[in-house]
Structure 1
């Protein structure tokens, strides 16, 4: 089971090329949703205005080498290791979700486009697909039940959902039904396979088309903001107290 292409079972009840078209549509939905979010929230204008103001206030202009160094530190600290979180549990849960999601998406794309309906799919791809989905599930359910701020600090009920929870709920539902779909397909239950695959598509679609209303776009905004903060620290334009600047570094 763990070395078989998880999408082989889909060929029995979907038209040829269905998954390829679906993946392309979801990619376009993410691009369109992110652009809509940028325009609607005027994020691009905010970044441009912020950059102009900080560059005017800069006391130490940075060259290309210095900017490259800032970008590398941002990538290593804020992106790769989620250094923005002081709470190590939140940091670990987000790392599990992020790297698991990358594995889950990349292996899905490779198997759908390079090995559609191919029983000779390299075993490493399905193994990494399962690993990615499980990493998302572990990190996501840990975060949802034990680490959400409104639950831990505000004392709100675990099952009270707000719009900010749309991303984590749809993500968890997507990977959960993906795994359930594979379990029932491996058990040889065609009706259950169709049902769970439909639910898998439903919540995966919700995940990707809800970009303007969920935290999905934060994956693009946060690195940009982290980079900008570090540039401000380096060129002397930051208006944060010295203690806060040292903490961010």
Structure 2
């Protein structure tokens, strides 16, 4: 029997709609600038004809369930919301052709990629990694997974509000790189595994939140997500 100096952390996991079992989470992948209007608002327009998707990752320890309260993070004055459709991988795949991408899909969820925007932009402009801006404790919010095995979503209204005021509103059909393309491209770099989550990108309307704010979002046909921003520690 293996013994450890201190107890290892528990396996990160999420509830699954209609099932008692939980979805064990392996890795968290995020697609950057995957809606044209958001790319423009970030000052980095995307030309799909000459560019490929790009990605960043976060530790599974940043994962929190919908309905949680997370403290306003340290060392930032500009904490932003980013509402996203989350893809849950259920089958292993490497160098997967786009026409076979559906085979890897287990289901979908609503998610929030919470971001220290001020730190991210400083890092971006200096050519440094985004980790301090993105890999933030409690910043990967995810709702229960809706099983849709083999289904590739190509449309669905997406919306998000803060304290009841709509901030983000778009549709999954506006993704620059769609679900099939994301799976195919990411699988060129990684052996995708059951338990991987892919946050597929956020539309325009990202903005700051403060302690006490209540964030609520939805994706048509998938579900809803909620987060409460607590006081800074």
Largest Rg, 1 or 2: 1
TM-score tier (shorter): under 0.3
Q: Please give the TM-score of this superposition, normalised by the length of structure 2.
A: 0.22
